[in-house]
Amino acid sequence: MATGALRSGCEGGAGADGRVPSPKGRGKRKRKRPNKPQGKGPSSAARGGRGDPGAAEANAAAAKDGRSSALEQPLELAQPVFFVGFMGAGKTSVSRYIARRWKLSAIDLDTYLERREGRVIRDIFAEDGEEAFRAIEADVLREVGRSPNPSLVSCGGGVVERPQNRSALGELGTVVYLRVSADEAASRISNKSSRPLFNDIESARALCERRGPLYDEAADIVVDTAGKSVGQIGHEVVRALKRCGVLRACKEDAS
Ligand code: S3P
């Protein structure tokens, strides 16, 4: 699989926040799409406010898990991993859970975008409209995806709306689709006011249905989340990423 002098998993990880880790001088990567493993099954995890999305859920999942992260073999990412899926799929919680447990870097694209723009998403939608938001999102996706240090990147649910983004996701890294129904998503989301496109359940169902094929088109790995905990989903994703060579043992730990 992909390539390059990869350090992210061996440097003790990084803050799983919205920030891109600082470059460590890696050369240009040539990225290949991995084999498309088929994930399965379903849920839990919601995200709260944008300030620290997914943190509480990821922490709770890690605590409930009861297994020490010190027992995990340190891993590194061969290329960025993008989490896509509908609002409430658990993209941020799962990516943060994996980041903490395996000492990897995680970035929440929406948080990164809000910090870069100095405005929250709700205000960007209200002041400039969805198209303006999509243009910023497309720009931020490429900025984060081209960072020299590959990270786990949780994307906004609408990142797949633009065909150029769907292609870019596959070119820049590996795409993990966390599948969820609109009804289950609604039960997980505590802060709907930060999501301008989650207005009522009828429109959420229609949007979720329309986007299903777009997520499928972009995905390398599909994991159904219904009825699963953040930890279960995290482990399932890690197994799939190991299988296709995107997650691997750190070089100094590999024997
Ligand atoms: C959106 C999802 C949100 C955020 C914005 C638009 C969407 O992210 O990017 O409100 O179009 O589905 P989450 O999926 O993280 O909630």
Q: Tens digit of pLDDT for each residue in 81-128?
A: 999 999 999 999 999 999 999 999 999 999 999 999 999 999 999 999
The amino acid that residue 129 corresponds to is: G
Reduce the DSSP state of residue 179 to 3 states and report it.
strand
**Best mutation site among 52, 110, 153, 188 for ligand 1 pocket (most ligand atoms within 8 Å of CB):** 110
pLDDT tier, 54 (very low <50, low <70, confident <90, very high otherwise): low
Q: Which residues contact 212 (CB under 8 A, 6 or more apart)?
A: none
What are the percentages of helix, strand and coil residues in the chain, rounded to 5?
Answer: 45, 10, 45
Type of residue at 1: M
Assess whether pLDDT exceeds 60 at residue 49.
no
Q: Strand 221-224 and strand 81-84: pairing?
A: unpaired
pLDDT of 27 > 50? The answer is no
Q: Is residue 157 packed enough to be buried (19+ CB in 10 Å), middle (13-18) or exposed (0-12)?
A: buried
Backbone φ and ψ of 50, nearest 5°:
-75, -20
In this prediction, residues 199-208 reach a mean pLDDT of 93
For residues 110-143, one letter each, b for 16 or more C-beta atoms within 10 angstroms of the residue's C-beta and e for the rest, the string is bbbbbebeebbbeebbeeeeeeebbebbbebbee
The confidence band for 69, taking pLDDT boundaries of 50, 70 and 90, is very low
User: Whose Cα sits closest to atom 12 in ligand 1?
Assistant: 157
What does residue 221 show for φ and ψ, rounded to 5 degrees?
-130, 135
pTM of the model: 0.79
Confidence of residue 63 (pLDDT cuts 50, 70, 90): low
Q: Please enumerate in sequence order all residues whose Cβ is within 8 A of that of 140, keeping only pairs 6 or more positions apart, or say none.
A: 109, 112, 113, 116
State percent of the chain over pLDDT 90.
Answer: 62
Q: Which atom of ligand 1 is nearest to the CA of 158?
A: 11
Q: Residue range 163-167: average pLDDT? A: 98
Res. 144: pLDDT tops 70: yes
* Contact (CB, 8 A) for 7 and 104: no
Going by alpha carbons, the residue nearest to atom 15 of ligand 1 is 156
Asked if the model's pLDDT at residue 60 lies above 50, the reply is: yes
Give the residue among 65, 66, 67, 62 at the shortest CA–CA distance from 99.
62
Q: 121 CB under 6 A from ligand 1? A: yes
**Domains of the chain and CATH, by start:** 35-56+74-249 (3.40.50.300)
The rounded Å distance from CA 92 to ligand 1 centre is 11
Count of other CB atoms within 10 angstroms of residue 102? 22
Q: Which two tokens stand for residue 115?
A: 């910090």
Q: Is the CB of residue 154 less than 8 Å from the CB of residue 92? A: yes
Average pLDDT over residues 196-204: 89
CA 33 to centroid of ligand 1, rounded, Å = 25
Nearest-CA residue for ligand 1 atom 11 is: 158
Residue 196's pLDDT band (boundaries 50, 70, 90)? confident
Residue with tokens 């359940």: 201
87 lines ligand 1 (CB under 6 A): yes
Token output for 216: 């499928």
- d(CA 208, CA 85) in angstroms, rounded, equals 9
**Token pair in block for residue 240:** 């799939």
What pLDDT shows up at residue 190?
79
Ligand 1 pocket test, pick from 195, 199, 207, 208 with the greatest ligand atom count within 8 Å of Cβ, gives: 195
Give distance in angstroms: CA of 156 to centre of ligand 1: 4
Ligand 1 lined by 173 (C-beta under 6 Å): no
